Amino acid sequence: MQSPIESPERTAEADRYVLIAGHVLFTVLLAIGTIRAVLTTSTEWAPICAAVVTALWYCAGAVWASRQPGALIPRLWLLGLIVLWFGLISLSSEFIWLAFLLAMLIWHLFPPRAALPLVITVTVATVVAFGIHQGQWVIGAILGPTVGIASAVVMTGVYQGLRAQSEERRRLLQELMATQQALAAREREAGMLGERERLAREIHDTVGQSLASVALLLRAALAPAKSDDPQSERDNQLRTALETTLAALAETRQFIRGLDPVAIERNGLTQALGALAQESTELGLPTEFRHDGAVRTLDTSVQVALLRAAQEAMSNARKHARARHATITLTFQGDEISIDIVDDGAGFDPAAVGGIRADGSGYGLTSMRARITERGGELTIESEPGRGTAVRATVPVEPAPIEPAAVEPSSTDERPGVPS
């Protein structure tokens, strides 16, 4: 909620009130001056006619100036008003009190360099007119108008300063709101891009991998049989394809519900990697699974990242490397956990593989590295053409608690019923 100073509606309302107050003040001072001038002068019609002309000029000029942009028209109007005021004070000293309002208008409409001489002129004219009409020069007649006009100028300057501060605060507030809106838009865009990246990664690592496995199985089932019992071999391949499809469907449902992968949720990382090795063997790539160190309970996000990395590496070994054998090794250490996937396939140049290709492939390594990096880990790939591939993913974990060693009783321990 904006404060009154910072609100443009409140500022416009305050300006309107000041303008109305100025009109009322001019009307009252002109009416009082006209009445007193009629009562104190011998020519009654002269001050009345001069006051009417001045009032008409004031009203017409005020309306005209309010409808014309810029500062030229209001300044010309004010100069004409000052000239008419000179005529009024030449007729009667009762009109000198309009000098306070004129000084305020001068300081409001003119820059200080032009306003100062005009204010001094109005002040001198006031003192001189009062002295001439009174026929004597007294200190009060000099100091009174001078102090009054100076006070009017100071009040006008203070009001202009407050108004300038209000405009500056309003401008800064608008800039701040615009910046906040821009930041909010960027955050929304970054969130959308992050969510899109996450969805692409999840779909690639779950449904994409499963569909690739199903495609390999169906391709093998359609190929000429190599065994003596082709029907049994095809049945096994189709059964594995069906199981893989059902597993992909379950993964998709879990993904939609925002839950953890089924394999980890049901069995944990170690058994999930063992099942991955068995599945790879059934798909035609004999794979061995090993694990070293004491099995520990890990955060689910760490388990998911390592499992996805292993799935992607095994998928690449089957689809691209034409490997004959692969090994998955899970190693539990004190402050980190690592997984190594090694195959004896065709290998490749890691430096030549970067980013996603035009056909949408090549996303796996990017996704794998992003997952491990998010967990604060590191992914290294060692490979050469014709020398196989070794993928290692390492993620830091909390050190395993050290269990206190059991203390063997010494020969001098006292036991109930046994003399020492």
Which of 180, 206, 227 marks a domain boundary? 180
Q: What is the dihedral of CA 139, 144, 150, 156, to 10 degrees?
A: 180
Q: Do 25 and 157 fall into the same domain?
A: yes
Q: CA–CA separation, 318 vs 314, rounded Å?
A: 6
Which of 122, 155, 180 marks a domain boundary? 180
Q: Is 218 inside any structural domain? A: no
| Structure tokens given for 295 | 């099995």
Q: Do 297 and 391 fall into the same domain?
A: yes
Q: Do 314 and 172 fall into the same domain?
A: no
Q: Is 406 inside any structural domain? A: no
Q: Do 278 and 143 fall into the same domain?
A: no
User: Residue 341's domain is classified under what CATH number?
Assistant: 3.30.565.10
Q: Do 35 and 176 fall into the same domain?
A: yes
CB 50 within 8 A of CB 88: yes
Q: Do 147 and 24 fall into the same domain?
A: yes
Closest of 25, 81, 24 to residue 51, by C-alpha: 81
Q: What is the dihedral of CA 201, 207, 210, 212, to 10 degrees?
A: -80
CB 95 within 8 A of CB 37: yes
Q: Is 209 inside any structural domain? A: no
Given this model, what pLDDT does residue 409 score? 44
Q: Is 111 inside any structural domain? A: yes
Which of 131, 149, 180 marks a domain boundary? 180
Single-letter amino acid code for the residue at 188? R
Q: Is 338 inside any structural domain? A: yes
State the first-to-last Cα distance of the chain, in angstroms, to the nearest integer: 85
Q: CA–CA separation, 40 vs 94, rounded Å?
A: 9
Q: Do 165 and 272 fall into the same domain?
A: no
Q: Do 20 and 127 fall into the same domain?
A: yes
Which contiguous run of DSSP H or E holds residue 337? strand 336-343
Residue 178 class from Cβ within 10 Å (0-12 exposed, 13-18 middle, 19+ buried)? exposed
Q: Name beta bridge partners: 291.
A: 330
Tokens 């008003």, residue?
81
Q: Is 169 inside any structural domain? A: yes
Report DSSP state, residue 379. Answer: E
Closest of 274, 403, 398, 405 to residue 333, by C-alpha: 398
Which contiguous run of DSSP H or E holds residue 47? helix 45-67
* φ/ψ (deg, to 5) at 380: -125, 140
Q: Do 141 and 48 fall into the same domain?
A: yes
Count of structural domains, the chain: 2
Helix (H, G, I), strand (E, B) or coil at 380: strand
Q: Is 368 inside any structural domain? A: yes
pLDDT tens, per residue, the chain with 420 residues: 344 334 555 555 656 776 787 788 888 888 888 888 888 777 778 888 988 998 898 888 777 766 666 667 788 888 888 899 888 888 888 888 888 888 888 888 888 888 888 888 888 888 888 888 777 777 776 777 778 788 878 887 787 777 778 788 888 888 888 888 888 788 777 766 765 666 666 676 666 666 777 777 777 776 666 656 666 766 776 777 777 777 777 666 655 544 456 667 677 888 889 988 988 888 788 999 998 888 877 888 888 888 888 888 888 888 777 888 999 999 998 888 999 999 998 888 877 765 544 444 456 677 788 888 888 899 998 988 888 899 999 999 877 555 444 444 443 444 443 333
Q: Provide the domain limits for residue 41.
A: 8-180
Helix (H, G, I), strand (E, B) or coil at 399: coil
CB 100 within 8 A of CB 148: yes
Q: Is 72 inside any structural domain? A: yes
